[in-house]
Amino acid sequence: MSRKDIIASKEHGNRAEAFEAFADIPTHPNLGNTIGDVIARRYGRRDFLRGSLAVTASTALFGTTALTTPNRAAAATADDSRYIFSELTWGNDEKHHIADGYNADILVRWGDPITADAPDFDVMNQTPEAQSQQFGYNNAYVGIGELEPGRGMLCVNHEYTNEEVMFPGLGRQDKADFEGMTKELVDIEMAAHGGAVFEIVKQENGKWSVNRDNRANRRVTANTHMTFYGPAAVHDRMKTSVDTAGMEVLGTINNCAGGMTPWGTYLMAEENFHGYFWTDVVDSEGDPDVSAQADGEKMKRYGVPGKWYAWGKYHDRFNIDKEPNEPNRFGWNDEVDPMNPAENGFNDQGDVMIDARIAGDLLGATPMDRPEDAQPRGDGTAYIMLTNNSRREPDQLDAANPRPESRIGHIIELKEEGGNHSAAKGTWSLRRWARCGTQKPRKTAGSDLQTIAPSTMPGASGFRPIRVRAGVGPASLTGFMRWKPKAICAVIPNCSSAVRTVVNSAVLTSLTRTRR
């Protein structure tokens, strides 16, 4: 069946169905050895006729339980499974049917705002700018990256668009050679493709909602900057007139499958990319003619250009007559870090380094009491010297900064999981309260504070090895090496020109006078 026949067929009710049907026509040069042929040789015609192949395959893949009757599953009790429900009657209508005892809620819909400044959806007044901040069209893969129990970043693929549904009164455009499509409508389609990353939160009633205020919320669209990595990067066939290095491409399209990696990133798998490319060169039947293209045979193998979208009429990169290498830059797996601030207002990692404070804001960094120094100990432990914060109000306290108007500071100890400074998780505790003169040490629930000599405003610090002899100090193993603070500097109260160096915040080792 030809492309024209598929478009004209009443069997396919919309452009997307026709596109899928045409994509089902194989372009493989060797159709005499398909998987069907391989299975037939493996099992033989007689097995197919007897039906034993289905039994053999089901048993091999799912075990003998796959052959049991539905009645056995219905006989399960609550002790056997939490998934006990009455089977739904088969049907096909416009209603959303769910089993008795269950409920389904709408979390987010096409056009719903997902960022704090996104406008409300107006189907009659859509714009590319609004759509790029709103939930996209036609969900495919859905995954979640947990931030903590009850909070996570939802990652959703937006595979394709249906212009006859998106734009009221427009009608199906593949049957009209896209005469009704304008650049504005194409740009809205492009903004509706790709993916969405946004925070969802579990409410007290058990239902989930979108937190629009998370600054990491964003859309990934057909215009998002993407960087190539691996052997294909900088390849000559990846270079275009705009990207002469072959390193960056705008956008991602037709994202169907996906996944969440063990390290927390989100994968988007592109398919059917050939349908987005255009050509003005056609044969006598009106079908795309790539015979003059240098990679014409390769384009035929991939079905490029499919001309199922009108993007190439308004954007040169989707027109193979002008950018013949652009199809090589699609059909890949894209990796997105849901919490990466470099994808949220930063152009590159250099911007992240320059604007580290803003990057910290995006990641939800804890505001601290003027951290003057951070010293790792080499074993997964580090100390943060918090000098003071006289402006902290009583209503601004948190677990790491529990003292209002903290004029003399404190020290936090961090212990990374597994003793590894590169670990993603760890624990922390308040190790030292700085204090003045006769002020007594204070200890809060859950903290591990030690009695200390009068000291204030911890600043620069370091470590030096000391050998603890048997019977001396807290350790009793001869030759045991212990690391401890070497130079926690504290200004002596009422003596502004003196500085004393305190070892372990308990032993006065030196007293010197300095200029200020």
Residues 77 and 183 in one domain: no
Which of 88, 104, 120 lies at the terminal end of a domain, its last residue? Answer: 104
Closest to 443 (Cα-Cα) out of 488, 396, 486, 410: 410
Residues 292 and 332 in one domain: yes
Distance in angstroms (rounded) separating the CA atoms of residues 137 and 226: 20
Locate 416 and state its tokens: 């990374």
Mind listing the pLDDT tens digit for each residue in 305-316?
999 999 999 999
Q: Which is more confidently placed, 487 or 404? A: 404
Residues 140 and 80 in one domain: no
Residues 265 and 160 in one domain: yes
Show the domain range for 156.
Answer: 128-343
Mind listing the pLDDT tens digit for each residue in 126-164?
999 999 999 999 999 999 999 999 999 999 999 999 999
Residues 330 and 391 in one domain: no
Residue 120 inside a domain? The answer is no
Residues 486 and 384 in one domain: yes
Mind listing the pLDDT tens digit for each residue in 260-304?
988 889 999 999 999 999 999 999 988 999 999 999 999 999 999
Residues 200 and 312 in one domain: yes
Residue 204 inside a domain? The answer is yes
Put simply, whether the predicted model's pTM sits higher than 0.75 gets the answer: no
Q: What is the DSSP string of 326-383?
A: GGGG-S-EEEE-TT-GGGTT-SSHHHHHHTHHHHHHHTTPPP-S-EEEEEE-SSSEEE
The set of residues, in sequence order, having a beta carbon less than 8 Å from that of 244 and lying 6+ positions away, is none
Total domains in the fold of the chain? 3
Closest to 326 (Cα-Cα) out of 288, 274, 375: 274
Distance in angstroms (rounded) separating the CA atoms of residues 150 and 153: 11
Residue 415 inside a domain? The answer is yes
Residues 292 and 238 in one domain: yes
Which of 296, 311, 343 lies at the terminal end of a domain, its last residue? Answer: 343
pLDDT band for position 319 (cuts 50, 70, 90): very high
Residues 265 and 404 in one domain: no
Q: For 352-368, what is the mean pLDDT? A: 72
In 3-state terms the chain splits into helix, strand, coil percentages (rounded to 5) of 25, 25, 55
The set of residues, in sequence order, having a beta carbon less than 8 Å from that of 213 and lying 6+ positions away, is 116
Residues 80 and 136 in one domain: no
Residue 250 inside a domain? The answer is yes
Residue 109 inside a domain? The answer is no
Between the CA of residue 7 and those of 22, 280, 309, what are the distances in Å? 9, 19, 13
HSE-up of residue 468 (Cα within 13 Å, Cβ side): 13
Mind listing the pLDDT tens digit for each residue in 396-435?
766 666 666 666 677 888 899 998 877 878 888 876 555 4
pLDDT band for position 490 (cuts 50, 70, 90): very low
Mind listing the pLDDT tens digit for each residue in 163-218?
999 999 999 999 999 999 999 999 999 999 999 999 999 999 999 999 999 989 99
Residues 301 and 418 in one domain: no
Residue 121 inside a domain? The answer is no
Q: Please report which helix (H) or strand (E) contains residue 61, including its range.
A: helix 52-62
Share of residues in the chain with pLDDT > 70 (%): 70
pLDDT at position 360 over 90:
no
Separation of first and last alpha carbons in the chain: 88
Residues 390 and 335 in one domain: no
Residue 99 inside a domain? The answer is yes
pLDDT band for position 492 (cuts 50, 70, 90): very low
